[in-house]
Amino acid sequence: GSIIGALLGVGMHLYLPVLVKDFIPVELTPQLSWLSVLSGVGIGVVVSILFALISLVSLRKVSPLQAIRSDAEPARFQLDWLQILVGFSILAFLMALIYLQIGSLQDAAIFTFGLLLTIIILGLIGKGLALGIKKLLPNSIPYVWRQGLSNLYRPHNQTSLLITTLGLGTAFIATLLFMQSLLVDRVSIAGAEDRPNTILFDIQTPQKDEVRQLTLDYDLPVMQEVPIVTMRLVELNGISKNEAERDTTITTPDWAYNREYRVTYRDSLIASETLKEGKWIGKVTNPADSIFVSVSSGYAENLELKIGDEMVFNVQGALLKTYVGSFREVDWRRVQTNFLVLFPVGVLEKAPQFHVLITRIDNNQLSARYQQAVVRSYPNISIIDLELILKTLEEILGKIAFVIRFMAFFSIGTGVIMLISSIVLSRFQRMRENVLLRTIGASSRKLWKIIFAEYFFLGGLGALSGILIAVLTTTLLGKFVFEFTFIPDFSQMILIGLTITVLTVAIGLLNSRDVISQSPLEVLRNEG
């Protein structure tokens, strides 16, 4: 099995250069890493042996009499030291494998503990389901539903096992789908229908109104017109760059002081900005008033800023003391001017500045005439035609999204196989009870309904448990790893739940064909 998997991996490796050749500017020659191939085969073999040992070590306690005679008293389950050792070996191997992949012992421990906790929770849900149905199942419901639900707490039931495997499989599939949607969304450009495609910058203040009027004369929309002031950060909470470099306890990154900030000023937020924390004060009426700026939430997290922190900027030689008044969530995917730091009006109007105008031109001929008119009248103004850039970028991002989807659905196949295997393994527990039901007069139709009821309930609860775990997992991954906020898509959750439930029922019914068609006499003779 491991060798077959390694061969499939080698095939994918050879195919990937063909997949990415259109947007990678260098020629890729695939080279096999035999160490990786051998590692994959070795991991597969070790995993198989470790998990097989869980069952194999318990066979040491089975006597020859119990193996030979069917009427011998079955062995009682006893957890011995060797089984405990195998369990710890599995956890240690899993943690070591994760550590080798992500390079963080802490993250590996968190992942391993989270997986173990998830299995325990799903197992308890299965046990609680069986106990709850046994205590609360009413006699008034139809017989086939009552019998199907009763199968969940019958002797030798696999309710806890199936809920655990179905829940884990669903959580795996749902997490991949959620992460795929979020990652694809992050590598896409927002507002493709009405996005701007032409930018004019380095417009001087005396030219601002004239350029705006020229744009309107060509029947072009002025989608954005913003002033830009350049400045540098001199002090943060009274600490300068030199002081921060001398004090090793200060964690402010060097780029905070070294970079050139391009900021703007206005009295309100725009569509790509959402107030996350604090209060936005859009106007300073008195020169003696304190100046409260708004910073992007990502910038604030990187510098560990808090509301009220002091920031001193050098604006072309003039020092300007400001305070952090609010945090903004900025949608950087929008094709427009977005800023790390936003000033209110009434502060920077007299500072040296230039202006940027953004418009959209749908006609190539009109674009050429408009650019010629701007350059002829205002040679200092630079014009960037974004259309070709955006089309190329969208093509690249589209292929990146395809790779993300390809890897996600390839991995989802593993989750589906896990679901199928867990259901197939439960067929033998149903053989004897279905034969007994047929012996006392149950029709094949009733048996089909009983099996449908059992798997429908198992699939539904397993899918619900897995989806809830996936939502929690994706939320934690988004917050601590990818730095975005996950907002559940309920339509996607419902679709996953229905799909897993239907898949469980379909596999269960297909898996039960031989069980229902089995001759009662043959099974009863074998029992004898």
Condensed to tens digits (0 to 9), the pLDDT of residues 294-332 reads 999 888 888 889 999 999 999 988 999 999 999 998 887
Query: How far from 189 is each of 145, 185, 296, 331, 408, CA to CA, in Å?
Result: 51, 8, 19, 10, 21
Least confident of 145-154, 386-395, 396-405: 396-405
Q: Residue 77 in 3-state DSSP?
A: coil
Q: What pLDDT is stored for residue 524 in this prediction? A: 62
In sequence order, which ranges of 187-273 are alpha helices (DSSP H)? 208-217, 241-246, 255-258
Exposed/middle/buried for 39, CB within 10 Å: 0-12, 13-18, 19+? middle
- Angle 55-56-60 (CA atoms, 0-180°, nearest 5)? 115
Query: From CA 471, how far away is CA 175, in angstroms rounded?
Result: 7
Least confident of 16-30, 233-247, 395-409, 448-462: 16-30
Query: From CA 379, how far away is CA 202, in angstroms rounded?
Result: 10
Q: What pLDDT is stored for residue 65 in this prediction? A: 73
Query: From CA 357, how far away is CA 374, in angstroms rounded?
Result: 12
Query: From CA 53, how far away is CA 82, in angstroms rounded?
Result: 9
In the chain, the percentage of residues whose pLDDT exceeds 90 is 15
Amino acid letter, residue 428: F
pLDDT of 400 > 90? The answer is no
And the tokens for 200? 């004019």
Q: Residue 305 in 3-state DSSP?
A: coil
Q: Are 252 and 303 in contact, with CB atoms under 8 Å apart?
A: yes
pLDDT of 427 > 80? The answer is no
Domain spans of the chain? 1-103, 113-193+388-528, 224-359
CA-based torsion, 326, 192, 20, 37: positive or negative:
positive
In total, the chain counts a number of residues equal to 528
Read off the pLDDT of residues 196-205 as tens digits, 9 standing for 90 and up.
Answer: 878 888 889 8
Query: From CA 212, how far away is CA 222, in angstroms rounded?
Result: 7
Residue 16: in which H helix or E strand, if any? helix 2-20
Q: Are 282 and 345 in contact, with CB atoms under 8 Å apart?
A: yes
What's the mean per-residue pLDDT of the chain?
82
Query: How far from 411 is each of 169, 180, 400, CA to CA, in Å?
Result: 11, 11, 17
DSSP labels for 184-196? HHHTS-B-TTT--
Q: Is the pTM of this model over 0.75?
A: no
Residue 137: in which H helix or E strand, if any? none
